[in-house]
Structure 1
Amino acid sequence: MGTFRIEGGHQLTGEITPQGAKNEALQILCAVLLTPEKVTINNIPDIVDVNKLIDLLEDLGVKIQKKGPGSYTFKADDVNLDYLQSDQFKQDGRGLRGSIMLVGPLLSRFGKGYIPKPGGDKIGRRRLDTHFEGFIKLGATFRYNREEYFYGVEAKKLVGTYMLLDEASVTGTANIVMAAVLAEGKTTIYNAACEPYLQQLCKMLVRMGAKISGIGSNLLHIEGVDSLGGTEHTMLPDMIEIGSWIGLAAMTKSELTIKNVSWDDLGQIPLAFEKLGITVERQNDDIHIPRHDKGYQVQNYIDGSILTIADAPWPGLTPDLLSILLVVATQAKGEVVIHQKMFESRLFFVDKLLDMGAKIILCDPHRATVIGHNFQSTLKATVMTSPDIRAGVSLLIAALSARGTSTIHNIEQIDRGYENIDGRLRAIGAKIDRV
């Protein structure tokens, strides 16, 4: 189990460039299975979860060539479907949440797709019903081996249909879209997710020859085609990492410039930090965070009531940033309620922040009230363990702002989502060592 040792209390300065988007990469990489032709993908983040998926594709028989940092070509012209029934696949697929999105393209192109129950973050229940209900509506037969926790769908032919999703699941929508692009006839998906990364997937599929309309809305229309061709695709920057750097700059009273953020795809993220009183300046396609020497003050609602920051489906605020916003609020002037609607275990990491001296009331598994210190009292260094990717980075930000030397164990969770995070932090002045 890896460990970070962090000497906190130092101001940082300089520029930092966000990696390619993790959540986009997991969708896009699965889509290479939809064609036997070559697909080139750029700006792929070098992180554990993405590298696991690339290894899975290679084990499936996909020919992979690395062209340069973050740039690969994929050719799925000789896929080994027998691997899907192997014990090795049942083991490898279980360790990666994003492996569920292999099922849609496999079902669409080869008539069958299998997956072990995926693992991932310990942040609460993450249902797969939306995925499989969509496949069933397209004509697939579903089966589940309870002893091995092994899912399967099979179909001689997928046929387009109308479906109203029970939730606007991003991975569920992506999976169903990838299944529908080669189905016979027209598929309509209502209550579809419309996040920028899902839009990126749809635009890539269109370049491959798919017929998709309504991209960017919650109503998608897909006309099935006989086959798809190759293409080239470049990932967006990771919006969660961008939010992490905004929070880091505020908590450490640092002046940072975040490069090439794709402003138009950030949605509510800048506004959420501005509600906490943080100055977020747009400079062309960069974000500049000036030094907040006098701190930052929470903006209450216009009637004076306490601010609530909650997650919601796009274009609402992504749930992946609530952990970071919560940490940033611990040093704000004022109070804020953080409402994590989607996952019932994601706020349980606040016990570590309480150990550091933060003032937080955990109201229930979904809500926490944060009373900010206004930097009148700094957080204290401590020893902690990262429970998941986003909580891990939130604790890292807390440690970088705290007085003294903190230790964070289980940093493999952080490495799952952040590329060379310690090296990039050292480049802007952070005192962090990987033990």
Structure 2
Amino acid sequence: MGTFKIEGGHRLKGSITPQGAKNEALQVLCAVLLTAEKVTIDNIPDIRDVNKLILLLSNLGVKIQKNAPGSYTFQADDINLKYLESEAFKQEGSSLRGSIMIVGPLLARFGKGYIPKPGGDKIGRRRLDTHFEGFMRLGADFRYNREEYFYGVEAKKLKGTYMLLDEASVTGTANIIMAAVLAEGVTTIYNAACEPYIQQLSNMLISMGAKIEGVGSNLLKIEGVDELGGCTHRVLPDMIEIGSWVGLAAMTRSELTIKNVSWENLGQIPDVFRKMGITLEKKGDDIYIPAHEDGYEIQSYIDGSVLTIADAPWPGFTPDLLSIALVVSTQARGSVLIHQKMFESRLFFVDKLIDMGAKIILCDPHRANVIGHDFKSTLKATTMTSPDIRAGISLLIAALSAKGTSTIHNIEQIDRGYERIDERLRAIGAKIVRV
């Protein structure tokens, strides 16, 4: 188990470039299974979850060529379907949440897809019903081995249909889209997720020859085609990492520039941070954050009531940044209610912040009331364990702002989502060492 030692209380300065988007990369990597032709993908982040999926694709028979850092060419022209029934696959597939998205492409192209119960963050229930109900509506037969927690879908030929998704699941929508592009006839998906990652996946598939209408909306119309070809695709910058750096700058009262953020794909993220009193300036495609010498003040609603920051499906505020908003609010002027609607275990890391001196009332598994210190007292260094990716980066930001030296264990969780984070933070002045 790896560990970070962090000496907090130092101002940072300089610029930092966000990595490629983890959540998009996991989707578009699975899409390479839809064609026998070469697919080149650029700006792939070098992180644990993505590297695990690349290894899984390799074991499945995909030919992989690394062109440069972050750039790979994939060719799925000789897939070994027997690997799906191996013990190695059951072990490797179960260690990665994103592995579920290989099922749609395999089902569409080869008529069958299997997956062990996927892993990922322990942040609450993350059911798979949306994925498999969508496959069954397209005509697939579903089976589930309860003893081995092993899922399977099979179909001689998928057929297009109308479906209303029970929830706007991002991975569920991605999986169903990848199955539908090779189905016979027209598939209509209502209540589809419409995050930029889904838009990117759809546009990539269109460049491969798919016929998709309604990209960017929650109503997609997909006309199936017989086959798809190769393409070149570039992954967006990671909006979650961008939000993390905004929070880091505010908490450490540092002057930072976040480079090449793709402003048009940030949605409400800049506005939510502005409501927390943080100054963000748009300079070209960069975000400039001045040093907040006088701190930052949380806005109230027009009637004077306490601001609530809650997650919602896109274009609402992404749930992956609620942990960042929470930790940033611990040093604000004023108070805020953080409402995490989607996952019932994601706020349980606040006890670590309370140990550091933060004023937080955990109302229930979904809501926390935070009363900011306004930098009149700093957080205190402590020893912590990272429970998941987003809580881990939040605790790291807290440690960088705290007085003294903090220790964070289980940093493999942070490495799952953030590329060479210690090296990149040291480049802007952070005192952080990987033990």
Question: Using the alignment, how far apart are the partners of 1:238 and 1:193 within structure 2?
Answer: 18
Letter in structure 1 aligned against 2:173: T
Letter in structure 2 aligned against 1:77: D
Counterpart position of 1:206? 206
Q: Confirm whether residue 58 of structure 1 aligns to residue 68 of structure 2.
A: no
Question: Using the alignment, how far apart are the partners of 2:314 and 2:169 within structure 1?
Answer: 10
Question: Using the alignment, how far apart are the partners of 1:385 and 1:323 within structure 2?
Answer: 15
Q: Confirm whether residue 2 of structure 1 aligns to residue 2 of structure 2.
A: yes
Counterpart position of 1:142? 142
Tell me the CA shift for residue 243 of structure 1: 0.1
Q: Confirm whether residue 13 of structure 1 aligns to residue 2 of structure 2.
A: no
Q: Confirm whether residue 416 of structure 1 aligns to residue 426 of structure 2.
A: no
Q: Which runs of 5+ in 2 are unaligned?
A: none
Question: Using the alignment, how far apart are the partners of 2:101 and 2:427 within structure 1?
Answer: 35
Q: Confirm whether residue 379 of structure 1 aligns to residue 400 of structure 2.
A: no
Letter in structure 2 aligned against 1:348: F
Tell me the CA shift for residue 136 of structure 1: 0.2
What are the superposed Cα offsets for residues 26-83 of structure 1, whole Å, 9 maximum, x if unpaired? 0000000000000000000000000000000000000000000000000000000000
Say how many residue pairs are matched: 435
Letter in structure 2 aligned against 1:146: R
Counterpart position of 1:91? 91
Question: Using the alignment, how far apart are the partners of 1:112 and 1:310 within structure 2?
Answer: 39
Counterpart position of 1:365? 365
Q: Confirm whether residue 312 of structure 1 aligns to residue 312 of structure 2.
A: yes
Counterpart position of 2:265? 265
Question: Using the alignment, how far apart are the partners of 2:350 and 2:238 within structure 1?
Answer: 25
What are the superposed Cα offsets for residues 318-339 of structure 1, whole Å, 9 maximum, x if unpaired? 0000000000000000000000
Q: Confirm whether residue 253 of structure 1 aligns to residue 253 of structure 2.
A: yes
Counterpart position of 1:300? 300
What are the superposed Cα offsets for residues 288-307 of structure 1, whole Å, 9 maximum, x if unpaired? 00000000000000000000
Question: Using the alignment, how far apart are the partners of 1:194 and 1:50 within structure 2?
Answer: 22
Aligned-residue sequence identity (percent) comes to 82
Counterpart position of 2:114? 114
Question: Using the alignment, how far apart are the partners of 1:160 and 1:343 within structure 2?
Answer: 32
Question: Using the alignment, how far apart are the partners of 1:215 and 1:17 within structure 2?
Answer: 28
Q: Confirm whether residue 323 of structure 1 aligns to residue 353 of structure 2.
A: no
What are the superposed Cα offsets for residues 184-226 of structure 1, whole Å, 9 maximum, x if unpaired? 0000000000000100000000000000000000000000000
1:20-419 to 2 correspondence within 5 Å? 20-419=20-419
Tell me the CA shift for residue 182 of structure 1: 0.1
Tell me the CA shift for residue 352 of structure 1: 0.1
Secondary structure of 2:202's partner? helix
Tell me the CA shift for residue 400 of structure 1: 0.1
Letter in structure 2 aligned against 1:224: G
What are the superposed Cα offsets for residues 265-299 of structure 1, whole Å, 9 maximum, x if unpaired? 00000011001000011000000000000000000
Question: Using the alignment, how far apart are the partners of 2:118 and 2:197 within structure 1?
Answer: 21
TM-score (norm: length of structure 2): 1.00
TM-score (norm: length of structure 1): 1.00
Tell me the CA shift for residue 169 of structure 1: 0.2
Question: Using the alignment, how far apart are the partners of 1:415 and 1:134 within structure 2?
Answer: 32
Tell me the CA shift for residue 110 of structure 1: 0.2
Question: Using the alignment, how far apart are the partners of 1:364 and 1:163 within structure 2?
Answer: 35
What are the superposed Cα offsets for residues 246-270 of structure 1, whole Å, 9 maximum, x if unpaired? 0000000000000000000000000
Tell me the CA shift for residue 425 of structure 1: 0.1
